[in-house]
Amino acid sequence: MLHIAICDDHAGELDGIAQLVEEYQAERNLPCAHFDFSSGFELVSALEKGRRFDVYCLDILMPGVSGIDAAREIRSFDRTAPILFFTSSPEYALESYGVKAASYVLKPISREKLFSALDDALERIGLQEREDAIVVKSTEGLQRILLRNLSYVEAMGRHVLYHLFSGRTIACAEPFSAVCGRLLPYGCFVKPHRSYLVNMQHVEAIDQRQLTLQNRAVIPVAQGKAREVRQRYLDFQMGGE
């Protein structure tokens, strides 16, 4: 089920876009649901409570929290979800690139414009689906994790914690040794400590005692492993394994 967030402070335009999304769903025979927000503040409040969506349709010009502001909030935890900007003015196009918008659509929003933008967005999602990923059985059910979104894995008692770049943590009851056997062959992971597995794509700095990740997480390096970890990281950066 595809979840689409629509945010526009003009009730008529919000209803119109929602209607077009429903027509798109019917024509493409696509299982999806749309969630409507009448202000940027309302959308950001939902995001802060943990709500997540696959596609975001945002009006740019909204009082208080603008579409650009909402997009920056989205990008703080999700670097890839397609963001479609709708606006009556082309002057904000440059700012839209700053948050990696998938489309910039000028109002009025026609059926053809919206359908084309959504087709492009779903193509992007399809490309993401073909990226390296694992499926884990968590306390909340089966979850698919893109490896590039996985910062590190931590063993804690009988559980394994998957820490994502967004700050989200997924807990699973499985042997840490099995996780290592599954992830290490990808070549982008290193085991600096018996209880940690780190995605080297997310490493910011290395010293004798710890790894610092891009999300500011600090991972301990076991005594005597610093040279090995540093070499593994250098090999990874040079394209080796």
Give the pTM. Answer: 0.55
pLDDT at 50: 84
Same domain, 146 and 225: yes
| CB-CB contact of 165 with 151 (8 Å) | yes
Same domain, 24 and 105: yes
pLDDT at 97: 66
Same domain, 36 and 121: yes
Domain count, the chain: 2
Same domain, 118 and 147: no
Chosen domain end from 88, 103, 129: 129
| CB-CB contact of 96 with 104 (8 Å) | yes
Cα distances (angstroms) measured from residue 75 to each of 56, 96, 105, 127, 147: 11, 12, 19, 19, 18
Distance CA(173)–CA(141), nearest Å, equals 12
Distance CA(16)–CA(163), nearest Å, equals 39
Chosen domain end from 129, 149, 177: 129
Instruction: For residue 216, give the CATH number of its domain.
Output: 2.40.50.1020
Q: How many CB atoms lie within 10 A of CB 51?
A: 13
Same domain, 162 and 206: yes
Same domain, 99 and 152: no
Report the chain (241 residues): mean pLDDT per 10 consecutive residues. 92 97 88 93 92 93 94 88 88 69 90 93 72 83 85 95 91 94 92 97 92 93 94 82 43
pLDDT at 32: 85
Instruction: For residue 115, give the CATH number of its domain.
Output: 3.40.50.2300
How many angstroms from the chain centroid is the CA of residue 40? 19
Same domain, 89 and 201: no
| CB-CB contact of 64 with 41 (8 Å) | yes
Distance CA(58)–CA(191), nearest Å, equals 41
Same domain, 149 and 74: no
Same domain, 158 and 82: no
Going across the sheet that includes 103-106, the strands are: 32-37, 2-7, 55-59, 83-87, 103-106
pLDDT at 240: 47
pLDDT at 69: 94
Write the single-letter amino acid at 74. I
| CB-CB contact of 24 with 30 (8 Å) | yes
Same domain, 125 and 142: no
Structural domain for 53, as ranges: 2-129
Chosen domain end from 80, 97, 129: 129
Question: Would you call 238 helix, strand, or coil by DSSP?
Answer: coil
Query: What are phi and psi for residue 100, nearest 5 degrees?
Result: 55, 55
Same domain, 182 and 118: no
| CB-CB contact of 164 with 145 (8 Å) | yes
End-to-end CA distance of the chain: 37
